[in-house]
Amino acid sequence: MAVIAYVENGLAGCRLAVERDTVTIVVDALRASANIVSMFHYGTREVLVVEQVEQAFAERQRRPGALLVGERGGPMVPGFDLGNSPLQEPPSMDISSVVFSSSNCSRCCVGAASCPVTLLGSTVNASAVAALALAEARRLGKEELVFITAGAAVDEVRLTIEDHLAVGAIVARCGDVVPGNDRARVCRALTRDIGRETLTECFRDCDNGSRLTRIGLGEDVRFAACLDVFEVVPRVVGTVDLPDGGLGALLRGG
């Protein structure tokens, strides 16, 4: 059975996912998807994703022992325990419980939390997320997938090529997929016949990759471009009411 794939940026992608009421994959290739996937791989049991830095600090008071992880504009938020760098080895600290906040990915996770299934994916777990997304679509009797490219926080329509490359890598592993809109066609065209070395170059040379490299995070960019490093697929398992009236998205690995 062919599956129809739709791709849309940021909050517009969240609205499309809620409207389609189907399996949704949030993709923030540089670097939140890779970071959260790596944390689950190395022992995290639960991640609470919140949109605002102030919400993260408030949640640390309510969740003793939880680490604050994330970034704003690339660097780690002052007062947080870890930034947004994907883990490449087991960390020295206890990462079992995490409160996460980032510039782009957080709003997408929260915005898509009401979908029947919301997964987090990128190049680093492309095969695993493709297999799980298709299995969940079959279980639900759905014939569509919606990919939310995290995009740019200050410009909803800006093209973030690394997100679209990562979606293309996942779609290529889904088998018989029909693009449902032009963004999906672009994702498929971008990754057609692309090799691992070229993928790394594209991540390095894109706007976000170049910016991160300039501030000393080039190794993050290189690692985030790798294919199928991890088999874990984070998923949204519910929402949490926050003291300020907002919502957080609760993620667990699978």
β-bridge mates for residue 134, sequence order: none
Q: Tokens 């206890």 — which residue?
A: 94
- Per DSSP, the chain holds a count of helices (H) and strands (E) of 10, 10
Question: CA–CA distance from 42 to each of 17, 28, 203, 209 (Å)?
Answer: 30, 19, 24, 25
At the topology level of CATH, where does 3-252 sit?
A: putative 2-phosphosulfolactate phosphatase (3.90.1560)
Q: How confident is the model at residue 2, as a pLDDT?
A: 84
Each residue's pLDDT, cut to its tens digit, for the chain (254 residues) gives 689 999 999 999 999 999 999 999 999 999 999 999 999 999 999 999 999 999 999 999 999 999 999 999 999 999 999 999 999 999 999 999 999 999 999 999 999 999 999 999 999 999 999 999 999 999 999 999 999 999 887 777 788 999 999 999 999 999 989 999 999 999 999 887 777 888 999 999 999 999 999 999 999 999 999 999 999 999 999 999 999 999 999 999 98
- CA 248 – CA 121 distance, rounded (Å): 19
Question: Where does 70-206 have alpha helices with state H?
Answer: 105-111, 126-140, 161-172, 182-191, 196-205
- CA 6 – CA 45 distance, rounded (Å): 30
3-class DSSP state for residue 109?
A: helix
Q: How confident is the model at residue 156, as a pLDDT?
A: 74
Helix axes 161-172, 196-205, angle to 10 degrees: 160
Domain boundaries, the chain: 3-252
